[in-house]
A and B are shown apart, each in its own frame.
Chain A
């Protein structure tokens, strides 16, 4: 299946801004995060097709996944 993955802020560094990824069926958001070597402790909000989602959510063909880092400084 094909999923559009969008990365934000420092997650783009040495990765990409947006990419159509070919993934195995039953692939979870957490698998994509780990595959891209995004540290889980840096993970902020995740949106799947515009709705907030968790790492154990299973992806479907045609999904758009947006991954943001945790930003908390002031």
Chain B
């Protein structure tokens, strides 16, 4: 079916139905999808994903650890795709050095909580998405919200925290989408429970990597975050991905992508 011929329903009509039936708009969207009616906001998701897959995304739960260069783009992408329940952790506030790359960072948002600003913009982008914004470390919710996620995204900014997150995900048997950036370079991999590839990548490293010297460029963060979001969607929809068995190294300066087979899992 051509994308243009899909039966659709506008947000205004969804809101009206939600008021009449005293239900959240997200529930109306689900009912519409079940009845073969696509909310207009998801029209351009069709037919890259099916209507049934869109419905699954509306019910999905994803946790994003870190709300900076990577995390903010990931939150935006997942909300636009229609992932229904998003949790995000970051204790930080916006500072001037974030302005070169972080989505939603502006002079107006300096000093404000990153997760609160993120929630505000996500509600503007897709009000049907439930956002749990936690101005704290993910470890603080380790025994509660964290465990309820179907997929966790590593959008952190230091190596010891990344290793601790990988360990927690392994214990809870939650898939982890790892991404990291420095300058023109980035890396991404999908870590299924039992996969020790992050330990191989980082060994016993402490602190930070070459980003200390190379900085972090906006398009690198956006590119790696986009790849992470795509991997989240693939996992949620049980689509195949090579990144469970590979680490992908991206070099935007040389325009090269190296895909390395994981040898230790």
Contacts and interface: CB of A to CB of B under 8 A. Distances in A.
Interface in A1-20: 8-10, 12, 17
Given A10-B185, A45-B200, A52-B200, A72 B249 contact: no
B127 interface: no
Contacts of B208: 72-73
A74 B69 contact: yes
B184 A72 contact: no
Contacts, number: 93
B183 to A, nearest CB: 6
A71 B158 CA distance: 9
Given A72-B209, A73-B209, A8 B202 contact: no
B201 A9 contact: no
A48 to B, nearest CB: 10
Query: Size range of the interface on A?
Result: 20 to 34
Nearest to B71: A74
B264 interface: yes
A63 to B, nearest CB: 15
Interface string B138-161: 000000000000000011111100
Interface string B178-220: 0111111111000000000000111001001111011010000
Interface string A50-65: 1110000000000000
B186 A71 contact: yes
Interface in A32-62: 42, 44-45, 47, 50-52
Nearest to A11: B210
A31 interface: no
A74 B261 contact: no
A12 B256 CA distance: 13
A69 B211 CA distance: 10
Contacts of B184: 9
Contact of A71 (B71, B154, B185): B185
Contact of B263 (A10, A52, A70, A71): A52
Interface string B201-241: 11001001111011010000100000000000000000000
6 contacts: A10-B183, A42-B209, A42-B210, A52-B263, A70-B159, A72-B208
